[in-house]
Structure 1
Amino acid sequence: MKISIITSCFNREATIGQAIESVLSQDYPDIEYIVVDGASKDRSLEVINRYKDRISKIISEPDKGMYEGINKGIKAATGDIIGLLHSDDFLYAKDTISRMAQEFERTGADFVYGNGLFVDPDNTDKVIRNWMGGSYSKWKVRHGWLPLHPTCYIRKECYDRYGLYDESYKIAADSDLLVRFLYEADLKVEYLNEYIVRMRMGGLSTDSARRKKMWDEDVRMYRSHGFSPTLTKLQKMAWKVPQFISAKLKF
């Protein structure tokens, strides 16, 4: 079973190397690693090229945002399963992909998700949010619950059948795709109760300056799926509260 991992990068010279190394250090033997750089203006591409002999495909050209970059990676992927690793993040352990592959083989799932940690951007040992995925149900999705996007590994045939990321969203395209796949489609979904990724706090959806745009996009997205938009957005926010409490109690 080949697993394709896609990293979309723009101006992340400080963190892209750690992301790449966390993939290259995996013990799973059949990984296709695709890095899509949106014509970074810093030294990101220079860092990426240090690993070019071990990266399956490098795409470097201007794009209109992260989701266009991810879509390019999906279109270029040849794996059975597709996962994402953002350029600020890194895989939790060296056997993370092996564990994910075992779960697909054990269950025959179309979609597997797990747990993730949000960490301090300067001290990645300091946990800010402890995102435990929890069990899956369409009822929960209807009421604002979604798994942590970078913990989601999905069969490529699902993208072929249900579509890629909607690039009209600049922040909420991941939520839109998850609602399509987890609520509107009838996929075999499994929860792997293990940590998959460490994510630095910050980024598109966690930057305070972008929260208004995130609100507007989430409301538009939920409305497009026939949900009560404002109520579902508030419910989505409520699901996050235990993550901060758990991080303080556990770490």
Structure 2
Amino acid sequence: MKISVITATYNSEANVATAMESLTSQTYPQIETVVIDGGSTDNTISVVKQNFKKNLKIISERDRGIYDALNKGINNASGHIIGFVHSDDLLASSTILSDIAKIFDEENIDGVYGDLQYVDKEDTSKIIRYWKSQPFASDLLGKGWMPAHPTLFLRKEVYEKHGLFNLDYRIAADYDFMLRIFQDTTLKFKYLPKVITKMRVGGASNRSLKNIKLKSAEDFRALKSNGIKNPYLALAWKNLSKLEQFFVKH
């Protein structure tokens, strides 16, 4: 069972090596890496190539942003399972893809997700926030719940059924997509109670007050367009639930 891991890059030479090393260190043998580069002018592509000798696809051209890049990655992925490792992120352990593949192999599952650690930009062993997830239940969506998107691995058929990321969203297309798939009662999801991904702090959605306001506005639009009841309440719960992430460390 091949796993395709998509990485979107743009002038990412400072951190992309860590992301790539977390992939090359995996014990699982059947990994395809798909790098979608936005036309970097630094050494990003060279750094990527230094880490891979096989099973690497690179597309480097201008795009319409992160979600356009991820859509290109999905369209060019040949794996049975698709996941993401963003250029500032890294997989938490060398066995995590083997753990994920085992669940897909042994259970009738469409998607697997787990926990995420926000880590210091320079010292990735320093935990800033801990996004601990939980087993899925349909009523959680109305409480603003969602798994951490970078930890979500899906069968390719899920994208074939539900489509790609909606480029009308600048920051919340992943939330919109997850609301679509988690409302599909024919799909089955499994929570893996392990840290799958480490994410450096300073992502697009929380980089500035302007982006935080945009994220909330787009989250509300996604809740409303996907038919979630009481979207104002769901958005409030979604934002409040993040507070505990600063106190939970494991």
Alignment TM-score > 0.5, same fold: yes
Q: Percent identity?
A: 41
Farther off after superposition, 148-157 or 227-236:
227-236
8 Å Cα contact 1:7-1:87 kept in structure 2: yes
2:126 corresponds in structure 1 to: 126
What letter is aligned with 1:214? Answer: K
Q: Displacement, 1:204?
A: 1.0
Report if aligned partners of 1:36, 1:69 keep a CA contact under 8 Å in 2. Answer: yes
SS state of the match for residue 175, structure 1?
helix
d(CA) in 1 for partners of 2:161 and 2:185?
Answer: 10
The TM-score, its normalising length taken from structure 2, stands at 0.95
Query: Take 2:185 and 2:225, find their aligned partners in 1: how far apart are those partners?
Result: 15
Partner of 1:241: 243
Counterparts of 2:185 and 2:74 in 1: how far apart (Å)?
19
**Residue of structure 2 equivalent to 1:107:** 107
| 1:146 is the counterpart of 2:143 | no
Tell me the CA shift for residue 42 of structure 1: 2.7
Of stretches 175-184 and 83-92 in structure 1, the one that deviates more from structure 2 is: 175-184
Aligned match of 2:71: 71
Partner of 1:29 in structure 2?
29
Deviation larger for 102-111 or 68-77: 102-111
Distance 1:55 1:47 in 2: 16
Aligned length: 248
Q: Residues 4 and 32 of structure 1 are in contact (CA less than 8 Å); yes or no, is this contact kept in structure 2?
A: yes
Q: Which amino acid aligns with 1:125?
A: S
Q: What secondary structure is seen at the aligned counterpart in 1 of 2:213? A: helix
Q: Does 2:8 correspond to 1:8?
A: yes
Matching residue of 1:194: 194
* The 10-residue stretch of structure 1 (131-140 or 179-188) with the greater mean CA deviation from structure 2: 179-188
Match of 2:214 in 1: 213
Is 1:48 aligned to 2:48, yes or no? yes
* CA deviation after TM superposition for structure 1 residue 57, in Å: 0.3
Code of the residue aligned with 1:201 in structure 2: it is V
Q: Distance in 2 between matches of 1:196 and 1:77?
A: 20
Matches within 5 A, 1:163-178: 163-178=163-178
| 8 Å contact from structure 1 (residues 52, 58) kept in 2 | no
Whole-angstrom CA distance in 2 between matches of 1:117 and 1:17: 19
Aligned-residue offset at 1:107? 1.7
Residue in structure 2 matched with residue 179 of structure 1 by the alignment = 179
2:24 and 2:52 in contact (8 A); partners too = no
CA deviations 1:144-194 (Å, max 9, x no partner) are 000000110000011001111111111101001111011245311111111
How far does residue 51 in structure 1 lie from its aligned partner after superposition?
Answer: 3.2
For structure 2, the 5+ residue unaligned runs are none
Aligned-residue offset at 1:62: 0.4
Matched residue of 1:103: which SS? Answer: helix
Q: Select between 93-102 and 224-233 the one with higher mean Cα deviation.
A: 224-233
SS in 2 for 1:147: coil
Amino acid of the structure 2 residue aligned with 1:220 = R
Give the secondary structure class of the aligned counterpart of 2:247. helix
Stretch moving more, 8-17 or 41-50:
41-50
In structure 1, list runs of 5 or more residues that go unmatched.
Answer: none
Task: In structure 1, give the amino acid aligned to 2:112.
Answer: V
TM-score normalised over the length of structure 1: 0.95
Structure 1 residue 38 displacement after superposition: 0.7
Instruction: Please list the CA deviations of residues 34-67 of structure 1 after superposition, one character each: whole Å capped at 9, or x if unmatched.
Output: 1110112332223223235335201100001011
